[in-house]
């Protein structure tokens, strides 16, 4: 694993739990975690249960005893590490967003395609796909329960930037983070929409906004938990993105990604409306989904709250009896299960780098539209293959 921030903790749970909860087709050992600060990464290795730590990712990638490289660094380093790892013949799991630019993402997609010819697998970490309720929602749509998709509503709302005293962390600077709410949490709802509908976003019209334009400079500390120093600096990424997308099949999608939804902590909500029914999901109530069946008898229709905790539901049989809840990190366990299974079985796991690139292109199109008075912009695609 390259990197050891917040995502490193979450990925570590995935690697630690998967072999002991699921019956994996192959062994998965937590070999080595890599970071630039030797002491800090050694401490992370000890805490999270990795056998070793290291500071040079190139050396680690060169090792024969390493089969899989899991990349949890910030987005600007993804391309270099992932391409090197794929060329070294390692299977790659790369945390989302795939890259900070479309060009980088295209290079990664190409490297993944070349590697695939040699049986090397790659996967991007949109873990919310693997919340059982989301996977089940996708299955139900594929089965036709909502009929033709006619409208989609997707939002990801948080509120941690409402506090004007929150300091100017690297996530709020364009040169490091690439993007703000749009790229970080907007990416999730774009991927989830494309995943569950099986359709790509082909055009967008959008607006991005920075609500608090100056923030205290970061003093001691790092990440999001730093304390403020004296003086102020410019916030160079968006706080809020509102955009409308068009799906391949013609349906419109309303997207909202915000860090200024006071009181909403991690409110990813999705609703897919079709001519036969509707399905809705809420990440703050992640063990369930809501299903409206227009084919049910008149007078008895309504949204059914399905607890997605039955053994028949995706991933659930390995866990607990019906009604016993799963949480945030379970998606990371399922991600490991699916990756290891795909490698063992010689199949391509999803989401592919192609799919990660597809999300980047939608993000770029939103920024393009926002820069042109929110006029509609087509999502640039260079290939016909769908994610």
Among residues 70, 200, 271, 338, which is the contact residue for a second copy, using CB under 8 A? Answer: 271
271 touches 199 (CB < 8 A): no
Nearer to a second copy, 21 or 342 (CB): 21
> Does 103 sit near a second copy (CB under 8 A)?
no
- Binding positions for a second copy, 144-173, rule CB under 8 A: 146, 150-151, 153, 158-160, 162, 164
Q: How far is CA 67 from CA 64, 88, 120, 196, in A?
A: 8, 10, 10, 30
280 bridge partner residues: 271, 290
Residues with Cβ within 8 Å of residue 80, at least 6 apart in sequence: none
Among residues 80, 87, 110, 329, which is the contact residue for a second copy, using CB under 8 A? Answer: 329
Among residues 135, 194, 269, 288, which is the contact residue for a second copy, using CB under 8 A? Answer: 288
- Binding positions for a second copy, 55-84, rule CB under 8 A: none
**Segment near a second copy (CB under 8 A), from 32-40, 61-69, 187-195, 251-259?**
251-259
- Binding positions for a second copy, 110-149, rule CB under 8 A: 136, 146
198 touches 373 (CB < 8 A): no
Nearer to a second copy, 56 or 163 (CB): 163
- Binding positions for a second copy, 290-309, rule CB under 8 A: 291-292, 294, 298-307, 309
Structure tokens of 129? Answer: 């796909």
How many angstroms separate the CA atoms of 95 and 92, rounded? 10
- Binding positions for a second copy, 359-378, rule CB under 8 A: 372-376
State in angstroms the smallest separation of the CB of 318 from a second copy: 9
Structure tokens of 207? Answer: 């607006």
How many angstroms separate the CA atoms of 357 and 105, rounded? 5
- Binding positions for a second copy, 14-33, rule CB under 8 A: 16-17, 19-21, 23
Among residues 244, 352, 358, 360, which is the contact residue for a second copy, using CB under 8 A? Answer: 244
Among residues 25, 265, 378, 382, which is the contact residue for a second copy, using CB under 8 A? Answer: 265
Among residues 141, 172, 185, 242, which is the contact residue for a second copy, using CB under 8 A? Answer: 242
342: left (phi over 0), alpha (psi -120 to 50) or beta: alpha
Closest CA to 357 of 226, 211, 229, 191: 191
CA-CA-CA-CA torsion for 381, 383, 386, 387, nearest 10 degrees? -80
């Amino acid at each position: 694993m390259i990197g050891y921030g917040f995502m490193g903790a979450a990925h570590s749970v995935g690697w630690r739990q998967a072999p002991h909860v699921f019956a994996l087709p192959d062994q998965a050992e937590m070999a080595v975690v890599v970071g630039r600060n030797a002491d800090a990464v050694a401490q992370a290795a000890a805490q999270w249960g990795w056998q070793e730590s290291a500071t040079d990712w190139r050396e680690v990638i060169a090792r024969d005893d390493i089969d899989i490289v899991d990349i949890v660094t910030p987005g600007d380093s993804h391309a270099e590490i992932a391409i090197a790892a794929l060329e070294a013949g390692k299977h790659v799991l790369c945390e989302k967003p795939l890259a900070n630019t479309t060009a980088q993402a295209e290079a990664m997609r190409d490297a993944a395609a070349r590697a695939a010819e040699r049986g090397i697998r790659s996967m991007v970490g949109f873990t919310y796909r693997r919340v059982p309720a989301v996977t089940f929602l996708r299955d139900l749509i594929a089965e036709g329960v909502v009929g033709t998709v006619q409208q989609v509503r997707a939002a990801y709302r948080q509120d941690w930037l409402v506090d004007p005293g929150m300091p100017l962390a690297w996530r709020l600077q364009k040169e490091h983070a690439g993007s703000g709410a749009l790229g970080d949490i907007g990416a999730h709802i774009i991927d989830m929409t494309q995943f569950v509908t099986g359709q790509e976003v082909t055009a967008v019209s959008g607006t991005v906004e920075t609500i608090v334009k100056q923030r205290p400079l970061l003093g001691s500390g790092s990440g999001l938990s730093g304390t403020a120093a004296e003086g102020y600096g410019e916030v160079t990424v968006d706080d809020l993105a509102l955009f409308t997308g068009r799906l391949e099949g013609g349906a419109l999608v309303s997207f909202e990604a915000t860090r200024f939804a006071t009181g909403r902590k991690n409110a990813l909500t999705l609703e897919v409306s079709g001519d036969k029914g509707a399905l809705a999901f809420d990440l703050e109530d992640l063990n369930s989904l809501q299903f409206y069946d227009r084919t049910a008898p008149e007078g008895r229709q309504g949204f059914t709250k399905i607890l997605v905790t039955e053994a028949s539901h995706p991933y659930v049989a390995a866990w607990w009896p019906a009604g016993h809840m799963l949480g945030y990190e379970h998606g990371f366990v399922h991600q490991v299960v699916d990756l290891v299974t795909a490698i063992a079985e010689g199949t391509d796991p999803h989401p592919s780098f192609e799919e990660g690139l597809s999300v980047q292109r939608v993000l770029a199109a939103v920024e393009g539209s926002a820069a042109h008075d929110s006029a509609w912009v087509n999502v640039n695609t260079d290939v016909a293959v769908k994610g």
